[in-house]
Structures are given as C-alpha cells and as structure tokens.
C-alpha cells in the first residue's frame, strides 16, 4: 500500500510506420526539453475546518502563483464534487468567474470535479496573482454493504464522528496537477482532537471551543497532502535523530508502547541491511475502521483500527517505504515495482528472518510465492506492464518481491545487500528507474544479469520445475526439468533428498530445459522423496505449489460432485506429504466442512492455529467460528468471533461481516 496511485495511461494508436517515427521523435524531444511551465505556485495556504458531527469540510485555499508565460488567462484545479466552490476571489477581494463541473475521474475510486477560474485580466510573464477559493460540503464515504458486489465498501477518505482521514487522491483540497510548492495548513477541529498533516507544527490555539493547528512545509508535491484528525492519545520516542510517534484512539492506549518498540526494531533491522534512510520521522496514525487497511503518507502511516494488534500487520511494509519510495523514489508506471516490490520484499525478509523456526520461515515465504503465482501458472502481464497498465497488484507487489528474493539467491546475501545499498546510495534523494536498478546490480556483481531481468521483469511466464530420479548402484540419478524458459536461462537450485536414513541437500544448476544429476547414497539407503527448492528461494513452480493447487481442485471437485470418498485419499496424501502447509490443511478443513463434519474441520483449523505466527490464523479462527455457528453453538461461535476480530485482518469485508455476526449474537443474548 502506498500514497501513490497510478494514473491510467492510454495506449497510442499507430497506423503507419512514418507516424510511429514521428511520434517517437516527438516523444524524445518532449522528454529532452523540460515542458514549459505555465505558472509556478509560490505559496499554497489551506485553511480548513472539520465538523465531524455533520461529516462536513469547510475550506479556503489561498493560492499565490506567478505566471511563467505571457497571456496566462485562467487556472484550473480538481476537487471532490461533493465539495462545492462557494466563491473565488483575487487579492483585492474581486470575485472571479469560475465553473465547477463533474468530470471523468482522474484517480481510481475517486469522484472528480473540474473547477475553472478565469482571471479578470491576462497575466504577463513573471506577474503574480493571489487567488482565494472557498469551498464547503459533505466529505463522507459510508463503508456500507454493497449487495451487488456482496462486500463492504471501503471509505477511502471520510469525515466521521470518530476521525477524519483525508487523502490527496480523494481531492479534499484544490488539486493542481504536477506542482511543487511551499505549504501552510491551518486546520480547525473539535477541541479534544489532534491534527496530523504535512510539515512542522508551528502553533496551536483555542477558539470558541475549537482547536486550531498550523503547519508549515517548505516544499511539497501537490499530490502529497494528507491530513488525519481525531481525539488521539500519543507517545513519542527519539532514537538518535529519528522520531517515532504513535497516535491512537484512547481505547488503544495499551498498544502505544508495543507499536513504538516494534517500529524501532524494524527500523534498526532495515538500517542494518540497507543503510540509513533520508527520513527522520515515522508516525503511526490510527484511522477509522471504514478505511479497511493502511495508507502511506509523506509523514507517516495511517492504519485502520481493526488492524491494530500485536501481530503488527502492514507495519513492516510501510516502514520499508522510508527506504523504497521516500529515500529513493521512482516514476511510477513501469517502475512502480521498484518501491512496492522492494517494500514487499523487505517486509517478507524481516518476517522470515524473525520467524521462530524453519517451519514458520518456510510458511512465510510460501505465502509470498503463493501470492506471486496465480493458480496453474498462466501467462500474465509482465511485472513492468503490471505497473504501467495499473493491472493486478500482485505483479508489482508479490511477484516483484519474489524477483528480488530470487536475485538474492543468485547473488548470495552479501553481494545482494551490497547491490541494494549501492542502489540506495546511487539514487538517494533522486528518482530511480528500472534500467538504473539493473545497472547498479550488474556493476556491483560484475555480472551481466540482463537475461535474468529480461525474463522475470519483462516476461509473462514463470519456470516450472520437476524432478525424476531413481536409485541405482548406490547412487540417486535423475533429471531436473525446467520448463517455460529460454535456452540460456540458468538457475542454481537446491534439491532435498529424503531417504530411509536421512535427508540431505545438493545444489544443481540447470541451464535451459533440463540437467542430469547423480549423487552417492549410503549403503542400503533409498530415496523416498526429492523436493526442489525446499526453502522457496526461486520464483517458479515446484512440488509444494502444485500440491497446493491440486488440493484446492480436489476440494472444489468434492464440494461440487459430492464424491468425498473417492477424493479423500488423494487429498490426504497431499496433506501427509506437506504436513506443515497451512494452505493445504485449509483445503482439508474445507473438505470436512463440505461434508458437515464440523468437529473434524475444527480439528484441522486448530492445527493451523498451533502454527502461530501465521497469516492463516485469522482465516482459521473465522472458519472455526463459522463451524460453531452451523453447529448452533453460540457460545463457542462468539468466543472464536471475538478471537478472530482481536487478531484482525486486511480482508476488510470478512472482518465487517464477522463484526455483524458478533453484534447479532450480542443482541440475541
Ligand atoms: Zn506499499
């Protein structure tokens, strides 16, 4: 998750070769010459009032601008349509002619209106003007149930009685595209509320039982203005030059210390790996339940109430953006994977290294692999296209993260971290791009890894690995197959052999479609199983992922065809082969539930619970609650509903439906 949301890019229609050449030349020229700026914003002053009880936002934006051309006649900005512009005036209080019309949305999930302001006279070059736009309206998104989609809508920005969370893409202030400017924000809120927004807090004051906060920021991008406000309690800690502050609702008081402690731990983990970030503060800010997940901002991280718990979900990813996104930024589009992929990688790196044992570590990485590859390993858009076309998020998050994980495997941890640190230094405070990243990796590793990046970033297929082997004359001989790759594609892979006496590992480098191997066995030793890439180091399909897909398809078939008896041994064989895999166990649990064997299903989910910490804990608790509900055991249902909700999940709609069920139980009793 991030504050950055891609704009759609429409493909250009091309008919003739000559046209293509002309277009390419024009594009190159446009890129080479900086675009002529029509005007600069010399100061942006935003004076707002939040009226929670009415879900209302009142604003007055004072925009000082300087024309960079002769004959500047007008200005336009975007605003949420529910916020009506009341007046636009110049510095002498003369009204200016303006229009406000609803237009096609410029950001996903965000209604848009376009406000055009006509100046009373044309501005000449270097001439300055001050424009004051007053606007007001309901700024509220309900997070209610959508029967058509059968899910709860998320409130991407809202003023509720409990809190206000105002995100730039929801156009809560006059948004003028592609500008950078000094900013002052003055925000009036109920007296017990606190405001957190961009910049430094300059002053606070009381006025008619309201509180006023004034913030100043030297320079900010016009798309980066966030504001959070609520009746917060807070706690801060300074470590060296770094400040951590947590702002929570009063009932989450007990979480302040653990969150600060965890943030400190994660910061130090990343700093040791990657070096120091540019940023010197990180705020964690609770926002309303209706937002459903978390959002990054230049000054910290907003997190929905139901995700504040002692598993600290989302936090490792968001802290990683201090490095990937803040210290090094990128141009979005094709390069989105650089900050989202690296942040997701950092998150999984942290979680897998902190996992209490090998099993938990494997489960963390399998969870990532499972999200990186859709069922059946179909051809997809490439990672770069995924970023550019605003396609399925998994391409720039989980798949890109696993590309980075695979790079780590290829280079070895030491060289890999050296490359990441060099990338951070090369682009510190600047915008990086994919070519720049590859160049740094090639230069640090003294290797040409273009074959690797071409395949994993520009291709839509992923390798599929299989192994065939037999024991002959005191040796295990076999072939490792690598499908869906070009001839020159080579990958070192670990094979784990399980025998009647021991388990041992060997490295095999496979180039192109296959590689034969032969390893000595001890006397009387027989290989019962060979696992490819047992630690999930390589982005590709191996046995475990295939077993998980097979388990799913068996369970779905059983649910549909009711041929439980025939499929049971097949499903159980997969589960026995992968006894610690929560994903496969989940299918077994569902298999029992489909037969209304509630107790047996509950037993399976209890086993998943014993794997803690695990991504599946919430799902297991929710499933146990559902089983008790169907068994008619309200007491146990309530017990597990409460446990599931305490655990929390970013699966917002499921969380909300569990809350409804719990409310209903409370009403009944
Ligand atoms: Zn992110």
What is the per-residue DSSP string for 473-487?
Answer: TTEEEEEEEEES--T
337 φ/ψ angles, rounded to the nearest 5 degrees: -60, -25
- Helix (H) or strand (E) segment spanning residue 643: helix 634-647
CA of 299 to the centre of ligand 1 (A): 14
Question: Smallest Cα–Cα separation from 653: which of 287, 156, 292, 314?
Answer: 292
CA of 478 to the centre of ligand 1 (A): 42
**Cβ contact 212:206 at 8 Å:** yes
Query: In angstroms, rounded to a whole number, what is the distance separating the alpha carbons of residues 655 and 250?
Result: 22
CA of 382 to the centre of ligand 1 (A): 19
CA of 298 to the centre of ligand 1 (A): 12
Q: How crowded is the C-beta side of 356, counted as CA atoms within 13 Å? A: 5
CA of 1 to the centre of ligand 1 (A): 3
Query: In angstroms, rounded to a whole number, what is the distance separating the alpha carbons of residues 338 and 2?
Result: 13
Per-residue pLDDT, 14: 31
CA of 582 to the centre of ligand 1 (A): 26
Query: In angstroms, rounded to a whole number, what is the distance separating the alpha carbons of residues 247 and 73?
Result: 44
Query: In angstroms, rounded to a whole number, what is the distance separating the alpha carbons of residues 549 and 552?
Result: 5
CA of 661 to the centre of ligand 1 (A): 31
**Cβ contact 406:539 at 8 Å:** yes
> Could you tell me the fold of the domain covering 464-538?
Immunoglobulin-like (2.60.40)
Query: In angstroms, rounded to a whole number, what is the distance separating the alpha carbons of residues 506 and 522?
Result: 15
500 burial via Cβ count (<10 Å: 0-12, 13-18, 19+)? exposed
Tokens representing 273?
């790996």
**Cβ contact 174:61 at 8 Å:** yes
Query: Averaged in consecutive runs of 10 residues, what is the pLDDT profile of the chain (669 residues)?
Result: 34 35 42 68 98 98 97 96 97 96 93 97 96 98 88 92 96 96 98 96 96 97 96 95 95 96 96 92 91 87 91 90 93 92 97 91 94 96 91 91 98 98 97 97 97 97 97 95 96 97 97 97 94 96 96 95 93 93 95 95 94 82 96 96 90 91 88
CA of 324 to the centre of ligand 1 (A): 9
* Distances, alpha carbon 140 to alpha carbons 104, 275, 624, in Å: 20, 41, 35
Per-residue pLDDT, 391: 67
* CA 583 remoteness from chain centre: 22
Q: Which residues pair with 41 in a beta bridge?
A: 65
- Helix (H) or strand (E) segment spanning residue 141: none
Question: Smallest Cα–Cα separation from 208: which of 188, 236, 181, 185?
Answer: 188
Q: Which residues have CB under 8 Å from 116's CB, separation 6+?
A: 74, 75, 76, 98, 99
36-231 has which CATH code? 2.60.40.1730
- Helix (H) or strand (E) segment spanning residue 530: strand 527-532
CA of 393 to the centre of ligand 1 (A): 10
CA of 349 to the centre of ligand 1 (A): 15
CA of 292 to the centre of ligand 1 (A): 15
Tokens representing 195?
């405001």
Question: Smallest Cα–Cα separation from 40: which of 88, 85, 72, 12?
Answer: 72
CATH 1.25.40.10 location in the chain = 545-668
CATH 1.10.390.10 location in the chain = 329-458
Tokens representing 31?
């890129």
CA of 424 to the centre of ligand 1 (A): 17
CA of 321 to the centre of ligand 1 (A): 7
Query: How large is the greatest C-alpha to C-alpha distance in the chain, in angstroms?
Result: 97
Tokens representing 609?
């619970």
CATH superfamily of 545-668: Tetratricopeptide repeat domain (1.25.40.10)
CA of 605 to the centre of ligand 1 (A): 30
Hey, is 473 helix, strand or coil? coil
CA of 318 to the centre of ligand 1 (A): 6
CA of 451 to the centre of ligand 1 (A): 27
Tokens representing 59?
């604003």
- The DSSP call for residue 36 is P
329-458: CATH class: mainly alpha
Residue ranges with CB less than 5 Å from ion ligand 1:
1-2, 340, 343
CA of 265 to the centre of ligand 1 (A): 19
CATH 2.60.40.1730 location in the chain = 36-231
Query: In angstroms, rounded to a whole number, what is the distance separating the alpha carbons of residues 528 and 520?
Result: 15
CA of 61 to the centre of ligand 1 (A): 30
CA of 386 to the centre of ligand 1 (A): 15
């Amino acid at each position: 998750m991030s504050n950055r949301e891609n704009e759609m890019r429409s493909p250009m229609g091309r008919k003739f070769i000559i046209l293509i050449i002309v277009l390419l030349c024009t594009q190159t020229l446009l890129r080479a010459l900086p675009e002529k700026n029509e005007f600069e914003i010399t100061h942006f002053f935003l004076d707002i009032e939040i009226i929670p009880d009415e879900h209302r936002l009142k604003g007055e934006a004072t925009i000082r601008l300087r024309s960079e051309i002769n004959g500047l006649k007008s200005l336009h900005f975007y605003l949420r349509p529910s916020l009506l512009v009341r007046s636009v005036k110049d510095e002498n209080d003369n009204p200016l002619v303006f229009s406000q019309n609803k237009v096609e949305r410029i950001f996903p999930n965000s209604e848009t209106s376009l406000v055009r302001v006509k100046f009373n006279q044309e501005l000449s070059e270097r001439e300055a003007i001050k424009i004051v736009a007053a606007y007001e309206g309901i700024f509220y998104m309900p997070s209610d149930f959508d029967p058509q989609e059968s899910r709860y809508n998320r409130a991407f920005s809202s003023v509720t009685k409990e809190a206000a969370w105002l995100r730039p893409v929801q156009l809560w202030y006059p948004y003028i595209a592609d500008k950078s400017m000094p900013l002052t924000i003055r925000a009036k809120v109920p007296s017990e509320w606190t405001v957190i927004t961009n910049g430094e807090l300059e002053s606070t004051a009381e006025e008619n039982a309201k509180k006023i906060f004034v913030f100043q920021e030297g320079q900010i991008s016009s798309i980066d203005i966030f504001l959070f406000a609520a009746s917060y309690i807070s706690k801060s800690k300074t470590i060296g030059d770094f400040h951590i502050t947590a702002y929570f609702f009063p009932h989450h008081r007990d979480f302040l210390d653990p969150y600060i402690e965890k943030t400190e731990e994660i910061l130090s983990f990343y700093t040791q790996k990657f070096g120091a970030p540019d940023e010197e503060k990180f705020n964690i800010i609770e926002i309303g339940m209706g937002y459903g997940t978390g959002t990054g901002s230049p000054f910290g991280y907003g997190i929905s109430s139901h995700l504040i718990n002692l598993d600290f979900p989302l936090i490792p990813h968001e802290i990683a953006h201090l490095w990937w996104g803040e210290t090094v930024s990128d141009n979005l589009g094709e390069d989105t994977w650089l900050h989202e992929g690296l942040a997701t990688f950092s998150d999984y790196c942290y979680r897998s290294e902190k996992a209490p044992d090998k099993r938990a570590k494997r489960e963390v990485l399998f969870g990532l692999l499972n999200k990186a590859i859709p069922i059946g390993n179909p051809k997809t858009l490439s990672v770069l296209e995924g970023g550019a076309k605003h396609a399925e998020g998994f391409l720039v998050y989980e798949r890109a993260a696993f590309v980075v994980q695979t790079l780590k495997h290829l280079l070895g941890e030491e060289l890999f971290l050296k490359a990441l640190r060099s990338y951070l230094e090369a682009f510190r405070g600047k915008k990086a791009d994919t070519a720049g990243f590859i160049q740094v990796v090639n230069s640090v590793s003294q290797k040409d890894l273009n074959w690797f990046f071409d395949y994993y970033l520009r291709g839509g297929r992923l390798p599929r690995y299989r192994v065939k082997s037999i024991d002959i004359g005191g040796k295990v001989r076999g072939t490792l197959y690598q499908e869906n790759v070009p001839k020159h594609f080579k990958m070192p892979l670990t094979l784990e052999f399980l025998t009647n006496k021991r388990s041992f590992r060997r490295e095999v480098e496979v180039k192109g479609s296959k590689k034969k191997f032969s390893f000595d066995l001890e006397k009387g030793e027989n290989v019962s199983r060979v696992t490819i890439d047992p630690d999930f180091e390589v982005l590709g399909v191996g046995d475990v992922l295939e077993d998980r897909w097979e388990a799913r398809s068996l369970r779905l078939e059983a649910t549909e065809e009711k041929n439980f008896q025939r499929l049971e041994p097949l499903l159980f064989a997969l589960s026995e082969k992968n006894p610690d895999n929560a994903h496969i166990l989940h299918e077994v649990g569902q298999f029992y539930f489909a037969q209304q064997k509630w107790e047996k299903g509950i037993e399976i989910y209890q086993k998943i619970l014993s794997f803690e910490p695990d991504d599946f804990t919430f799902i297991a608790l929710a499933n146990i609650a559902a089983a008790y509900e169907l068994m008619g055991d309200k007491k146990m249902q309530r017990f597990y509903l409460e446990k599931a909700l305490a655990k929390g999940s970013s699966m917002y709609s499921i969380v909300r439906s569990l809350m409804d069920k719990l409310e209903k139980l409370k009403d009944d009793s």
